[in-house]
Amino acid sequence: MGKYLLAEGYKLTRRSYLWLALLITGALELLLVVLFAALNGDVTNMTASVGLTVLLYLLPFGYYATAVTGDIVFSEQYKHNTLKNEVAYGLPRLRIYFGKLLASTLLALAACAVLVLWYGLLCGVLLPGDGAMLNAWRTVGFGLLTALPVWLGAQSLYLMCFFVFRGSTAATLVGTGILAILGQALQLLYLLVSVRVPALGEVVLVLQDLLLTAPLEGLIDDVWNWSRMGWSWAVGLGWCAATTAIGCWSFHRREIS
């Protein structure tokens, strides 16, 4: 597995897609902080620590960012027919699957670290200090620890889609659909059934709690909540296990062209 990850690292660092994605996201962060600084005045007073905690509002973007990291790592292997170069030389399919999952997770963590540190640096430099940066970092850190497991679940979900569907566009659409639409669909279902069949409504509520997006809803008002963190880890790891099992099962018998 170590060799596989080293090889993936070699390939990733040679993709302009990765550097471009980081550059664009970093530029957007710069724009946001410059905007905060420009608007500072009589009406608003965005200090460095407050600016930093704005990151908590941005955590849901992390779900969708895993589509990009998954795509960068999977590298459209079906389109380019490159998987045959791996299976033909005896690399077990499980190792290929877990290699891609681990590589995309490590890439996502590294990208997250870079972008959070860059944002923190921008806030520290461009916004007025208020002596509360350390506390703000603690709060953001706790929020990130809550978000990490569900991001990992999202990463596994997208990777499963990349392995199951031949095209990366279809895979991204399905993954995003599951993340973005499933919650709305369950909400609608709840409204339809809860009055006539309350028991079914309860089941739908439980299902809503099991969605990847659920643990981060309302996080901003309730960051320091250990039970939320436990919930997030349970949901995130559960999705990770389930989607990985489906992805491995699908890839195990897949025809490689």
Partner 1 sequence: MSKPILATRALTKRYGAAAAVEDVDLCLEKGQIYGLVGRNGAGKTTIIRMLTAQTLPASGEIELFGETTPRGLSAARARVGAMVEIPSFYPYLTAAENLEYYRRQRGIPGQACVGQVLEQVGLQGAGKKKFKHFSLGMKQRLGLGLALMNHPDLLLLDEPINGLDPEGIVEFRNLLLDLNRQRETTILISSHILSELSNVATHFGFLDKGHMLEQISAQALREKCRACLQITVDDTARAALALEQRLDTRDYEVLPGNVLRLYGFLDRPQAVAAVLTEMKVALLGLENRSANLEDYFLGLIGGVRHG
10 versus 61: smaller Cβ distance to partner 1: 10
Task: Enumerate the β-bridge partners of residue 123.
Answer: none
Per rule CB under 8 A, is residue 221 in the interface with partner 1? no
Range 93-118 burial, b when 16+ CB lie within 10 A, else e = beebbbbbbebbbbbbeebbeebbeb
Least distance CB 87 / partner 1 (angstroms): 5
The residue type of 47 is T
Least distance CB 257 / partner 1 (angstroms): 7
Cα(190)–Cα(218) distance, integer angstroms: 20
Chain residues 1-20 in contact with partner 1, contact rule CB under 8 A: 3-4, 6-7, 10-11, 14-16
90 versus 131: smaller Cβ distance to partner 1: 90
Structure tokens at 96: 């290929």
Chain residues 29-48 in contact with partner 1, contact rule CB under 8 A: none
Chain residues 90-119 in contact with partner 1, contact rule CB under 8 A: 90-92
Least distance CB 92 / partner 1 (angstroms): 5
The residue type of 44 is T
Per rule CB under 8 A, is residue 185 in the interface with partner 1? no
Least distance CB 164 / partner 1 (angstroms): 17
6 versus 117: smaller Cβ distance to partner 1: 6
Chain residues 57-86 in contact with partner 1, contact rule CB under 8 A: 75, 80-82, 84-86
Cα(147)–Cα(143) distance, integer angstroms: 6
Among 42, 43, 88, 195, binds partner 1 (CB under 8 A): 88
Q: Where along the sequence are the contacts to partner 1 (CB under 8 A)?
A: 3-4, 6-7, 10-11, 14-16, 75, 80-82, 84-92, 253, 255-257
